[in-house]
Structure 1
């Protein structure tokens, strides 16, 4: 019996030593799993989550109407001062008679497009700017001041006659196109000619405007 009593007393002492010391802070007994090195789940509304929700920026295209035949790309860049546009961001849209009907504009973002709307409003709304699709921008070929249009070519004129008219000018002979277009004076024959540079196109304008093709006096228009 004494052996049983001594064993019970020894077991009691072991249980006493296993009890947590009340003098130690409670954090000492926190489960180790809370200190796991595994990545915790992301918190909704965190900075990273807000960054992912930020809408991407991209090019925006606009169509500027109410321009005249005297409106230049430089005029539009000055009108939209502060929008960081250059000549490559603009294309002139021509009608069938090659009168300018609008200016296509490529903006770097929707924010800049909205700034352009405000700039036009501040300056008296002389022009009207509307948003269009990229396909509208792609439809119009850029001339960039490197092409001229000859107005008033005789109906019986041949390609050789046009080439003689352009004698002394350096141009792309494979680009010459002749066609008939309606105008306020009735249908007239035209020729579209492309040049390697703006300077060469301007030289043709200066030297050939009001010149003659056969017996017809022609006018020269630079296309932008």
Structure 2
């Protein structure tokens, strides 16, 4: 008999189950059951990401920007073009992001659309490289200097070096004398004297690099690098 009563309780109408202790309907539970089922998914997060992406896009051209992380000092723009070969990038679509000591910390890439960014993600995953694309806005792209392979960085200059000493060091090379900039950067144990010099073309900058790297300026051996 007791089992029969338990069976009756299980078969009671839904309205009975919604009632409270005093027989009053449990409004909270009833409302919950009447409401459409909420979507506990990442849909809202995706919409938020899409809103952020729209903010970072250039409205008139649809261009979008990302920073490629995981590069080394030896990574060239051409390496990035080969890595993302299906995105049809050019040298003008890539700018190297240097820190104050001119160590490369990433490469800014200009894509024509978000579709190209999706393709870049797939290429990186498929090729198994230890790279990552990080979202950046257009202002970071515009404020990043594009040296374009036409600027040399001279490192290890003597403390007493002046622009005329740099001109003597670069004797025989075609460059812009007015572009010479001398400065210090933090080093160990002493700050390092550096200079940047601009050249009319990539070829002339590369020729100067080949001819002058490890040359001497006032008895100091100078390290020369091409800034991309």
TM-score (norm 1): 0.73
Sort the Cα spacing of 1:193 and 1:57 in 2 relative to 1 into closer, same or farther, 3 A: closer
CA-to-aligned-CA distance 1:142-189 (integer Å, 9 cap, x gap): 111101001100001111111111111110111110000124564200
Partner of 1:6: none
* Pair 1:213-2:204 in alignment: no
Q: Is the 8 A contact 1:97 1:183 kept in 2?
A: no
Partner of 1:155: 159
Aligned partner of residue 62 in structure 1, secondary structure: strand
* Pair 1:79-2:83 in alignment: yes
Sort the Cα spacing of 1:212 and 1:117 in 2 relative to 1 into closer, same or farther, 3 A: same
* Pair 1:223-2:227 in alignment: yes
Question: For structure 1, which runs of at least 5 residues remain unmatched after alignment?
Answer: 1-54
From 108, 111, 125, the counterpart of 1:107 = 111
Partner of 1:90: 94
Sort the Cα spacing of 1:168 and 1:56 in 2 relative to 1 into closer, same or farther, 3 A: closer
Higher Rg of the two aligned structures:
1
Partner of 2:32: none
Partner of 2:175: 171
Sort the Cα spacing of 1:123 and 1:184 in 2 relative to 1 into closer, same or farther, 3 A: farther
From 114, 118, 121, the counterpart of 1:117 = 121
- Report the Cα distance in structure 1 between the residues aligned to 2:162 and 2:96, rounded to whole angstroms: 29
TM-score (norm 2): 0.72
CA RMSD of aligned residues (A): 1.6
Sort the Cα spacing of 1:57 and 1:159 in 2 relative to 1 into closer, same or farther, 3 A: closer
Q: Which runs of 4+ in 1 moved over 2 A?
A: 183-186
Q: Is the 8 A contact 1:57 1:110 kept in 2?
A: no
How many residue pairs align between the two structures? Answer: 170
Sort the Cα spacing of 1:162 and 1:127 in 2 relative to 1 into closer, same or farther, 3 A: same
- Report the Cα distance in structure 1 between the residues aligned to 2:188 and 2:81, rounded to whole angstroms: 30
Aligned partner of residue 149 in structure 2, secondary structure: coil
Partner of 1:182: 186
State the 1:61 CA deviation.
Answer: 0.3
State the 1:139 CA deviation.
Answer: 1.2
Partner of 1:15: none
Question: For structure 2, which runs of at least 5 residues remain unmatched after alignment?
Answer: 1-58
Sort the Cα spacing of 1:83 and 1:185 in 2 relative to 1 into closer, same or farther, 3 A: farther
Aligned partner of residue 82 in structure 1, secondary structure: helix
Partner of 2:63: 59
- Report the Cα distance in structure 1 between the residues aligned to 2:126 and 2:182, rounded to whole angstroms: 43
CA-to-aligned-CA distance 1:42-83 (integer Å, 9 cap, x gap): xxxxxxxxxxxxx98700000011100000111111111111
